[in-house]
Amino acid sequence: MPQVFDTMPELVGSLDTDEDSLRWAARDYGDVVHHLPAAVLRPANAADIRTAVAFARQHGLRIVPRGQGHSTGGQAQALGGVVVDMNQLGAIHDVGPDSVVVDAGARWSDVLNATLPRGLTPPVLTDYLELTVGGTLSVGGLGGASHQHGAQTDNVIELEVITPEGALISCSPSENRDVFDAVRAGRGRNGIITRARLRLVPAPDTVRWHRLRYGTVAELLEDQQHLVVTDAFDYVEGQLKVRDGEDVAELEAVSFVETTSGSGDLDDLFFREVDSETADYWDFVNRLAAGEPVLRGAGLWDSPHPWCNLLVPGTAAPAVLHQIASELGPELYSDFGLALAYPVRTDRITTPLLALPDDDIVFLVAALRYAPAGAAETVKAMQLANDVLVASTLRAGGTLYLDPL
């Protein structure tokens, strides 16, 4: 144990400095940045975190919360400092008629497992549900329902936060508003979220799920913009990929059958083909779970993921997506990679730290690249391709999503 921790007050949980713990905290889903901390706090309660935050402040150490570690650029790492393993505190508390109280280390799948039996769901979910509530609230949390409901940070009623000074406080739009605004999308640097009261809405039992295939990227984008403006579907998300040597431009347009607010109307759209099915709501929102074993089997789950997440003004989206379409393929994405484009209406976003481009509709564009283990040159080529995308996005007035503050 480094000497600096000799005077750490007693904890109920543990402060771990063994090699396995430090290596765990120095690795994330990106597997590109590896910063070794000096210690990992495994808290038994919020009081342990308060103790560690106050101690770190006194000794000039960085202290950074970590959820599932699904960041791709070291956002949850603390070089020479203390990483707080928030997974230790993941309980689900009260499920009420329109909200649920959860510990920040709970995953969104845990939240749904508690709320769906009561016919309730958070209005916005990330595509992958094995991320922690604290982890996505500290970046924004955007999904296919963001064109209607904004980010996950816009659907939080109240938070319990440990401030950088070590105080435990409640905050909401009407109480300690400055803290509420600083921690939502605050990347864990303006306070540690320990508990959240999340808004819930009625969940449908089933969804009507359309996969629309397009001949051009321009048509795909035009339809996305149209569907966002007309509010015709509850979930809208575009994707570009190459499969079996063929370019695919696809739009998922989904109606929540019993609770839908839109028409679910496919008339007047530019798609060339459509596959439609009715699915259970849970099977739809949990659809990425099936991909994990496939990627593991291909050796691409625990390998580097130099991902690039951009917020692109609607006006610049055609150029950025054309650029992505021209580089798609095994070399810069592997056989499994793809690019996603989630349309977001900026008037639905109220989170001050979620820096959006100046446009009515913006796209979260995610270039999801998978490199095999031990292929440093491939990772470098992917990073260079990301640099090009970032430069053209910033030139067009776009911003970066998920980057460290």
Ligand X SMILES: Cc1cc2nc3c(=O)[nH]c(=O)nc-3n(C[C@H](O)[C@H](O)[C@H](O)COP(=O)(O)OP(=O)(O)OC[C@H]3O[C@@H](n4cnc5c(N)ncnc54)[C@H](O)[C@@H]3O)c2cc1C
Applying CB under 6 A, which residues contact ligand X? 28-29, 64-71, 75-76, 86, 104, 126-128, 131-132, 134-136, 138-143, 187-188, 192-193, 402
What residues are annotated to the active site?
70, 127, 237
CB neighbour class for 126 (10 Å; exposed up to 12, middle 13-18, buried from 19)? buried
> CA-CA distance, 66 to 28, in Å (whole number)?
10
Nearest to 162 by CA among 46, 43, 40: 46
- Identify which of residues 152 and 269 has a Cβ nearer to ligand X in the complex: 152
Q: How far is the CB of 265 from ligand X (least distance, A)?
A: 25
In the complex with ligand X, which residue's Cβ is closer, 269 or 363?
A: 363
Question: CB of 241 within 8 A of CB of 235?
Answer: no
Residue 314 Cα distances to 30, 33, 236, 307, angstroms: 27, 31, 15, 21
CB of 54 to ligand X, least distance (A): 17
Opening angle at CA 27, ends 25 and 31, nearest 5 = 170
Q: Are 366 and 308 in contact (CB under 8 A)?
A: yes
Question: Minimal distance in Å, beta carbon 168 to ligand X?
Answer: 13
> Which among 387, 390, 354, 384 is positioned nearest to 184, based on CA atoms?
354
Round to whole Å and give the CA distance between 286 and 129. Answer: 7
Between 73 and 269, CB nearer to ligand X: 73
What CA–CA distance (Å, rounded) separates 122 from 116? 10
- Nearest approach, Cβ of 267 to ligand X (angstroms)? 28
What contacts 263, CB < 8 A, 6 or more positions away?
A: 230, 232
> What's the min distance (Å) between Cβ of 187 and ligand X?
4
State in angstroms the smallest separation of the CB of 89 from ligand X.
8
Nearer to ligand X by C-beta: 159 or 269? Answer: 159
Which CB sits closer to ligand X, 128 or 281? 128
Helix (H, G, I), strand (E, B) or coil at 55: helix
Q: Return the number of other C-beta atoms located less than 10 Å from residue 31's C-beta.
A: 16
* Gap between the terminal Cα atoms of the chain: 30
Q: Of the two residues 56 and 269, which places its CB atom closer to ligand X in the complex?
A: 56
